[in-house]
Amino acid sequence: MDVSLQSLANGLDTIWVLLCAALVFFMEAGFAALEAGFVRSKSSINIIMKVIMDCTVGMLGYWIIGFAIMYGIDKFGLIGTNGIAVRGTLDHLGLNIPVDAFWIFQAAFAIAVATIVSGAVAERMKFGPYIIFSFLATALIYPVAGHWIWGGGWLGQLGMKDFAGSAAVHAVGGWASLAAVMVLEPRLGKYEKDGSANVLLAHNLPLAALGAFILWFGWFGFNPGSSLSGLDLNIARIAVTTNLAAAAGGTVGTLYTLWKWGKPDPSMTINGALAGLVAVTGGTAYVSHASAIIIGSIAGILVVWAVGLFDKKGIDDPVGAIAVHGVNGTFGAVAVGLFAQDGGLFTGGGTHLLLVQIIGVLSVSLWAFGSTYVIFKLLKAAVGIRVTAEEEIEGMDVVEHGIAAYNNPRPTQDGVGQAYIKSDLVAE
């Protein structure tokens, strides 16, 4: 084989990006397991089906038009203008790797944004309208925000730093979730008439925890892979700051709930670690180990506080998507302006970067919230977005898909159970 230094460098970058893309794609399995585990069993395969829709319909949406809007040649700092179906001249991207490698990595990010919303609308949103939303999330909502920051748009031009997307991915997904939930309204039974909130118990915490582990694993691709180069000397530091923030977030989430309620809450431990990951994602390449730990620690408190706040305010988010991704994505984007070794307020860089970060994350958050709000209102008017009360009580799985998530084990005739379970010979 003919090899040159340049072809080796390109090959190295290509396998790095492809393997990281695989890890980021695998986060969909993590989201699916986390969300399914956190909701009630009667609606658990429905939420997984929605995540699969992100991977299928959503991926096609990003292929058809989303990528073009995000990474096409910039117009007015607002939008990309070529690259439909990943075709045409994309030299302006200045890639060392094949466009296809870049695309698959970006596509895995795009579907993650849609999937963040899937958790927030769990247990009550109709399946059909969700498919339409998933397509629009990857075809329009995320690409516009992504263009502003990463695609040559006005926020990137302003100097905004968002390494792997605390703002572009997580704040966008999180605040889109808030809009969706506001239009969709809470699940039946979540709130009493006096406004007090009930806990609708997670049906399978081991599944949810497995999902969290998969997400953390996927973050080894999400953050370091965003270098787009295996020759970037910074990727090792990125891997470490990512993990330290997760460790700090999980530690603090656990200890904080232990102190507050006397018992460490599994969902807060899990969401604490995820909040740390989300918050460090923007600055992972720019901050020190110690700063990553501080960022993660703050995230671990923020997420507990935010989950409680939304719960009180009548915002019913079954998996904590808004608290994890919205609040901590926003915090993470701002944290870059505080902790970045080059330009952060706390490292002597003054307030310029901080202001840019605040403007940036507010802008994409408003865009995500507003566009999602409009889309959900339109969907509600056009086709309806919510199943009927009867259907919601019955459960989304049987109503939407004609089958329950779990059809065994089932109790035996005596009602007491045995060490093993006999199924019917003939079911259905």
Considering only residues 34 to 53 of the shown chain, the ones binding its own copies according to CB under 8 A are 36, 40-42, 44-45, 48-49, 52-53
The token pair at 245 is 């923030």
196 near its own copies, judged by CB under 8 A: no
381/362 Cα distance (integer angstroms)? 28
Cβ atoms of residues 385 and 132 within 8 Å: no
Name the residue nearer to its own copies (CB basis): 366 or 403. 403
Query: Cβ(116)–Cβ(58) under 8 Å?
Result: no
For residues 428 and 420, what is the distance between their CA atoms, to the nearest angstrom? Answer: 21
In contact, 188 and 393? CB cutoff 8 Å: yes
Residue 22 engages its own copies in binding (rule: CB under 8 A): yes
Binding flag, residue 130, its own copies (CB under 8 A): no
Cα–Cα distance, 273 to 299 (Å, whole number):
8
Non-local CB neighbours of 267 within 8 Å, separated by 6+ positions: 38, 202, 205, 208, 320
- The residue from 107, 113, 228, 335 that contacts its own copies (CB under 8 A) is 107
Q: Which one of 17-25, 147-155, 164-172, 321-329 is the stretch in contact with its own copies (CB under 8 A)?
A: 17-25
Complex with its own copies: residue 348 or 402, whichever CB lies closer: 402
Interface residues for its own copies in 221-260 (CB under 8 A)?
221, 224, 229-231, 233, 235-237, 239-240, 243-244, 246-251, 254, 258
Cα torsion through 168, 170, 174, 176, rounded to 10: 30
Among 75, 289, 312, 313, binds its own copies (CB under 8 A): 289
Helix (H) or strand (E) holding 5: helix 5-38
Print the binding letters for residues 108-127 with its own copies: x by CB under 8 A, - otherwise: -------------------x
The smaller minimum CB distance to its own copies, of residues 153 and 266, is found at: 266
Could you tell me which residues come within 8 angstroms of residue 424 by beta carbon, excluding any fewer than 6 positions away? Answer: none
For 103-149, strand residue ranges (E) read none
Residues 357-386 touching its own copies, rule: CB under 8 A, are none
Residue 350 or 409: which CB sits closer to its own copies?
409
Based on the shown chain and the rule CB under 8 A, indicate whether residue 154 belongs to the binding site for its own copies: no
Angle at 29 between CA 24 and CA 294, to 5 degrees: 55
Nearer to its own copies, 136 or 293 (CB): 293
User: Smallest distance, Å, CB 365 to its own copies?
Assistant: 28
Tell me how far apart the alpha carbons of residues 216 and 278 are, in angstroms, rounded to a whole number: 10
Q: Does 311 bind its own copies (CB under 8 A)?
A: no
Residue 277 touches its own copies, criterion: CB under 8 A: no
Q: Which of 309, 366, 383, 404 binds its own copies (CB under 8 A)?
A: 404
Kindly tell me which of 76 and 195 has the beta carbon lying closer to its own copies: 195
State the nearest-atom distance from the C-beta of 100 to its own copies, in Å.
4
C-alpha 180/C-alpha 95 separation (Å) is: 36
By CB under 8 A, residue 400 contacts its own copies: yes
Query: Tokens 């960022």 appear where?
Result: 295
Q: At what angle do helices 235-261 and 289-312 cross, to 10 degrees?
A: 40
Would you count residue 93 as binding its own copies (CB under 8 A)? no
Please work out the total of residues on this chain that contact its own copies, with binding judged by CB under 8 A. 138
